[in-house]
C-alpha cells in the first residue's frame, strides 16, 4: 500500500502471479473484481436477446444502429458516419442530410441515398413499417423507374 492507496503488484514473483493485489484492501479488491466480472458476463448473456430484438424491430441495418436520434455532439458525429456508410455518400452530404432531418438517422440515410425531400423519406419509411432496408429498396426502384434526364 503506497500512501494509503492499495496497489497492484506487477512482480512475477508474487504468490498469486504477476498481477496480484497487495495491501490492506486485498479481499475488497478481489470481491469488486469478481462482481465486475459477473456484471460483464451477465451483460454479455443479456445482449444477444436485445440485439436480436433490435434487428427484428428494424433498429439495426448492416450492423449499424440506425434507430438513432442525434441530439448531441457525440451522437451527431456517430450519426454522420452511419449515414455516410449506409448511404454510400461523403461525410459532408451525410451532415447536410442529418441537418434536414433534425438528427433522425433513418430519413437522413434515405435523403443521402437520393430521396427528394423529408416528406418522401418519411413516406418511404411509413410504407415499410419504419424499416430501412425495404425503404432503400423502394427508393432504388423509384429512381430506376424515373426517366434519365
Q: Total domain count for the chain? A: 2
Whether residues 65 and 131 share a domain: the answer is yes
What pLDDT, on a 0 to 100 scale, did the predictor assign at position 120?
96
What pLDDT, on a 0 to 100 scale, did the predictor assign at position 57?
82
- Count how many residues are written for the chain: 149
In a domain, 85, yes or no: yes
CATH number at residue 78: 1.10.8.1080
Whether residues 34 and 105 share a domain: the answer is no
Beta-carbon contacts of 121 under 8 Å, excluding residues fewer than 6 positions away, are 101, 106, 107, 108, 110, 111, 115, 135
Mean pLDDT, consecutive 10-residue stretches, the chain (149 aa), reads 44 48 58 61 62 75 87 92 95 97 97 96 96 95 68
Alpha-carbon distance 108 to 95, whole Å? 9
Alpha-carbon distance 142 to 134, whole Å? 12
In a domain, 70, yes or no: yes
In a domain, 3, yes or no: no
Alpha-carbon distance 79 to 112, whole Å? 12
pTM over 0.75: no
Question: Residue 85's domain spans which residues?
Answer: 60-145
In a domain, 87, yes or no: yes
Q: What is the chain's alpha carbon radius of gyration, rounded to the nearest angstrom?
A: 24
Whether residues 125 and 96 share a domain: the answer is yes
In a domain, 4, yes or no: no
Whether residues 68 and 52 share a domain: the answer is no
Amino acid at each position: 500500500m503506497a500512501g494509503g492507496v492499495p496497489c497492484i503488484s506487477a512482480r512475477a514473483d508474487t504468490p498469486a502471479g504477476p498481477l496480484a493485489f497487495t495491501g490492506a484492501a486485498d479481499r475488497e479488491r478481489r470481491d469488486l473484481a469478481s462482481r465486475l466480472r459477473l456484471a460483464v458476463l451477465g451483460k454479455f448473456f443479456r445482449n444477444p436477446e436485445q440485439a436480436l430484438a433490435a434487428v427484428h424491430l428494424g433498429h439495426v441495418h448492416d450492423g449499424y444502429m440506425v434507430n438513432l436520434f442525434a441530439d448531441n455532439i457525440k451522437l451527431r458525429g456517430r450519426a454522420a458516419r452511419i449515414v455516410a456508410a449506409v448511404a454510400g455518400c461523403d461525410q459532408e452530404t451525410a451532415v447536410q442530410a442529418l441537418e434536414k432531418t433534425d438528427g433522425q438517422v433513418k430519413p437522413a440515410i434515405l435523403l443521402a441515398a437520393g430521396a427528394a425531400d423529408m416528406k418522401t423519406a418519411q413516406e418511404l419509411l411509413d410504407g415499410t413499417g419504419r424499416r430501412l432496408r425495404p425503404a432503400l429498396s423502394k427508393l432504388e426502384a423509384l429512381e430506376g423507374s424515373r426517366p434519365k434526364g
